[in-house]
Amino acid sequence: MRPAEYKMAEGGFGNGNGGAIPGNLIVAANTESNSDYIWSVKAAGLPVHPARIPAALPETFIKFLTRRKDLVFEPFVGSLTTAAVAEALGRRWVASECMLEYVLGGQHRFFKRMAA
C-alpha cells in the first residue's frame, strides 16, 4: 500500500487504452535559447521571462480539456506561451500577469502570426 493508502491496480500503468485518454507523461524539452521570442524581446530591450514553459505543456492540457472556441484562462501568463498556444488551437484566451515587461515581451509571440 502506498503512503496515501491509494491502491494501484495490477498493471495499472501498463494498460493500453486505445488512445481514449492521453498518457500522463509529457515529453518536452525546456531548452529554448535561440527562439524568435528571445531574439525579438532582447531587440526590444525587454527582459526575457526567466521561467518560460515549453509550448507542449499548455498544448497538451488545452487539447485535452477544451474545444475550439472555448475560453482558456491563464492567471500567471508570463511570456504568453499559453495564450499563443490557445490562439493557435482556435481557442479564445484571457490572461493576467503582474509584470508588464513580460507581457510586453510576450506580445512578440503573436507578431509573426499577425504578419502572415
Can you give the pTM of this predicted structure?
0.77
List the domain range (segments joined by +) for residue 58: 47-115
Convert the pLDDT of each residue in 19-61 to its tens digit: 666 677 888 888 878 788 999 999 999 999 999 999 999 999 9
Q: Taking Cα atoms as reference points, which of 72, 66, 31 lies closest to residue 80?
A: 72
Domain assignment present for residue 34? The answer is: no
Domain assignment present for residue 66? The answer is: yes
Q: What is the CATH number of the domain that holds 59?
A: 3.40.50.150
pLDDT level of residue 2 (50, 70, 90 thresholds): very low
Q: How many domains does the chain have?
A: 1
In the 8-state DSSP scheme, what is residue 47? P
Out of 5-9, 29-33, 100-104, pick the least confident: 5-9
Domain assignment present for residue 69? The answer is: yes
Domain assignment present for residue 39? The answer is: no
Domain assignment present for residue 29? The answer is: no
Question: Residue 95 phi/psi, 5° resolution?
Answer: -145, 160
